[in-house]
Chains A and B, each alone.
Chain A
Amino acid sequence: MLSIKNLHASIQDKEILKGINLEVKAGEVHAIMGPNGSGKSTLSNVLAGREEYEVTEGSVDFEGADLLDLAPEDRAKEGLFLAFQYPVEIPGVSNINFLKTAINEKREYHKQEPATAKEFLGMVKEKSALVELDSKLASRSVNEGFSGGEKKRNEIFQMAMLEPKLSILDETDSGLDIDALRIVANGVNKLKSENNATVVITHYQRLLDYIVPDFVHVLYNGKIVKSGTKELALELEEKGYDWIKEEVNA
C-alpha cells in the first residue's frame, strides 16, 4: 500500500528526514516511536503534502501512484488520512458542513453521486457512536473551543466518516483520559480491515495494548534506526531511548 524509499526532506534548508525507508501493506498496523523532535510529525506532514517541507530525495509510492506528485487534497481523496497532532480550529464552520464538503469532494473525485442528506446524517449517527462523540460537538464549529481530548476524538470521528485506506495517527493518544483512550482505540480497531492500514505515532506503550501493532519502528534523528514487533515497544517503555542512541552513535 505504502512504500517509502530513502526519503529526505528539509524545512528552511534544515534537513529533518534523512533517508526514511518504510513498507506498509494492507491490513497492517505500524507503530512509530521516537524521541521528541526526531521527525515523526515531519514524516506525516510530508506524506500529507504540506508545502513548507521540501522533499530533496527519495520516493513514495501509494497504491501504485507517485504520492509526492499529487496535490494534498488529491492524496486525501485517494485515501490518505492524517489525524493531526494539533488539530486546527476553523471558527464559524460547522463540523457537519465541513465533513459534508469533504465527503462530497471525495465522491466527486471518484465519480460518485454526492451523499444525500439522509445518507449523510445516517453516517454521522453511526460513526459518532463509534467514538462516542457527543452529538453536540458534531454541530459545533470545527474544533473551536474543543478540549484537547475532544479534538483528538473528533479527528477519529472524521477518519471514520472518510473511510481512508491509510490512516496516520499522530499522537492521537496524547491528551486523552483513560476511558477516552480505550474508546478511541476501540474505534480505530473497529475500522480496521484487510483493505486498510494504520500508522500510529505514539510515545506510550499503553496505546499499543489496545491497538496492537504488527511492527514497531524507532525514528531517531530523521531515520528509522530500529524495527521490531510489539515487544520492542515494551522494551522502550522499560529502558527509554538511550540504549538506541548509543547503538546508533557507536
Chain B
Amino acid sequence: MAYTEDDLEKELENQEYKYGFTTDIESDKIPVGINEDVVRLISSKKNEPQWMLDYRLKAFAVWKDMVEPEWAHVNYPKVKFQELSYYSAPKAQGEKKWEDIDPEMKATMDKLGISMDEQKALSGVAVDFVFDSVSVKTSFQDKLGDLGIIFCSFSEAVQNHPELVKKYMGTIVPTTDNFYAALNSAVFSDGSFCYIPKGVRCPMELSTYFRINEANTGQFERTLVVADEDSYVSYLEGCTAPARDENQLHAAIVELIAMDGAEIKYSTVQNWYPGDEDGKGGIYNFVTKRGICHNNAKISWTQVETGSAVTWKYPSCILKGDNSIGEFYSVAVTNNHQQADTGTKMIHLGKNTKSTIISKGISAGYSNNSYRGLVQINKNASNARNFTQCDSLLMGDQCGAHTFPYIEAKNSTAKIEHEATTSKIGEDQIFYCNQRGINTEKAINLIVNGYCKEVLNKLPMEFAVEAQKLLEISLEGSVG
C-alpha cells in the first residue's frame, strides 16, 4: 500500500468541504420549468437528430404521468420540478481545443485537481469533464482512438456514433424504469460515452468528472459504457458541487454493457455538497445505475459515497449470461443531517452466476444510513451463488443505520450467504490507540479506514487516496 495514514495527515488542515467554491463564468441557461417545449429546446441546442428528440419526447410523456417514489428510507422536502432550470452551459465553448477554454474554467479544473494537459497527466487517466450540463473537454482521445476505443462526451457520441448510441442507449435502463430515470431520459444534457472494441484492454483509467456550478439547475447526465467481447475497462467517476443554501437535484443514469468475456470496473467517489451542519442545502442525488453481463462477463461497482444531502442509488447487475459475475463494493458515510438509501440488485438469470456484495455504512451525527439490496435467483439460474456482507458502524447515538435485504430464490440449487453486523466504534479500540500515543480523532480515522479497507482496496490507487481523505473530512467533528 503506497498510500498511508501519513499521507492523510498532511491534508488535515483543510477539513471543510473544499470544493464549495463557485466559478464565475457566463452561462447559457434556459428559463426554469419543464414542458415539451423545454425538451425540444434542449434537443435543438444540442443540434440533435430526430431520433434523439423522439426518444426524449417519449420519455417526457411517460414521466408526466409518473409519481415520485416514496419507499426509500429518506425524508426531504419535495423537489419543485417547475422551479428548476434544465439546461445550463458555459458560454463560448468554441472548438474545445485546450487553448480555447475559458481561463476561469481552467482555473476551476485546477482547483478540482483535474489535469487535462496530456503532457502533464502523470497518472495516465483520460478525463471527460462535465460542467453543469455540458462536457467541456475530454483528454487522450487520439491516443485511445488508435486502439479503436471511443471515449467522448455523450453529445459527441450522438453526433459521431449514432449507430452505437441508438443500439445500446436505454436497453438497460429504459425510459419507463423509474421516475428519475424517465426525467433524465427526457432532459439529459450530456455525460460520457465509451466503447471498447473486441479483445482490447483499455490501457488507462477512463474517468468522468461531474461538476454542478449554476444555482437552481438540475444536473442530468448519462453515461453509457459498452465493452465488446473479451475487452476490459476501468472507469472512474467523481463529483463535486459548490456549497449553496438551496438543494440541487442530480438525477443521472449509468448503463454498462459487458459482452461475452468482457469486464467493466466502475468506480465512483461521490462527494456532492452534503449541505451544512444544520442540514441546509446540499444535493439530492437520485441515480439509476445498472449493468448487464453476458456470458463469462464481469461487472464490479465500487462506490464511496460521502456527499449529498439525500442519496438514492442502487448500482445493479443483471447477470444474464452463464458464468457471469457481479460485484458491489460500497462505503456510504453520512454525517450531520445527511440521508442515504443505497445498495444494489443482483439479478441472476444465467447458470453458474456469482455475485458478491460488500456494504459498509458509517453513520454519524443525526444522519440516517440504509442499505437496501435485492438478490434474485431466477428459475433457470442453476448453481447461482451470492455472498452478502453488510456492516454498519454507528458513531454517536443520534444517528440511524438500517438494512433492508431482500432475497428471492426460485432455483433450489442457489447458495446464498448473508452476513450483517452493526457495531459502535469501540471505546476499547480508541483507548488502545490512545495508549499508543494516537489521539482520538486520528484513532477514529484509523479505525474507520480499517473498517472500510475491503472496499477501499478495490479502488484504483489515485482514487483510494482521495477516498480516504474524504472519509476523514466527512466524519470531522463527529466525535466529541
Q: A101-B5, A141-B450 are in contact. Are A90 and B432 (CB under 8 A)?
A: yes
The interface residues of chain B lying within 8 Å CB-to-CB of A106 are 437
Residues 82-121 of A contacting B (Cβ, < 8 Å): 82, 84, 87-94, 97-102, 104-106, 109, 114
A positions within 8 Å CB-CB of B: 48-52, 71-73, 75-77, 81-82, 84, 87-94, 97-102, 104-106, 109, 114, 141, 158, 162
B positions within 8 Å CB-CB of A: 1, 4-6, 426-429, 431-440, 442, 446-447, 449-454
Give 8 CB contacts A-B under 8 Å: A73-B434, A76-B434, A76-B436, A76-B437, A90-B432, A92-B451, A99-B436, A162-B437
> Would A100 and B6 count as touching, CB distance under 8 A?
yes
> Would B434 and A104 count as touching, CB distance under 8 A?
no
> Would A162 and B436 count as touching, CB distance under 8 A?
yes
> Would B437 and A77 count as touching, CB distance under 8 A?
yes
Minimum CB–CB distance for B391 against chain A, Å = 10
Q: A50-B431, A84-B432 are in contact. Are A92 and B453 (CB under 8 A)?
A: yes
Complex formed: what's the CA distance from A88 to B454 in Å? Answer: 20
The interface residues of chain A lying within 8 Å CB-to-CB of B1 are 94, 97
Contact of B447 among A73, A93, A99, A114 (CB under 8 A): A93
> Would A92 and B449 count as touching, CB distance under 8 A?
yes
Contact of B6 among A71, A93, A104 (CB under 8 A): A104
> Would A88 and B432 count as touching, CB distance under 8 A?
yes
For residue A79, which residue of chain B has the nearest CB? B437
For residue B360, which residue of chain A has the nearest CB? A92
Minimum CB–CB distance for A137 against chain B, Å = 16
Complex formed: what's the CA distance from A109 to B437 in Å? Answer: 9
The interface residues of chain A lying within 8 Å CB-to-CB of B433 are 73, 90, 98, 102
> Would A105 and B437 count as touching, CB distance under 8 A?
yes
The interface residues of chain B lying within 8 Å CB-to-CB of A158 are 436
> Would A91 and B451 count as touching, CB distance under 8 A?
yes
> Would A101 and B446 count as touching, CB distance under 8 A?
yes
> Would A114 and B428 count as touching, CB distance under 8 A?
no
The interface residues of chain A lying within 8 Å CB-to-CB of B449 are 92-93
> Would A90 and B431 count as touching, CB distance under 8 A?
no
Minimum CB–CB distance for B4 against chain A, Å = 6
For residue A114, which residue of chain B has the nearest CB? B6
Complex formed: what's the CA distance from A76 to B433 in Å? Answer: 10
Minimum CB–CB distance for A121 against chain B, Å = 13
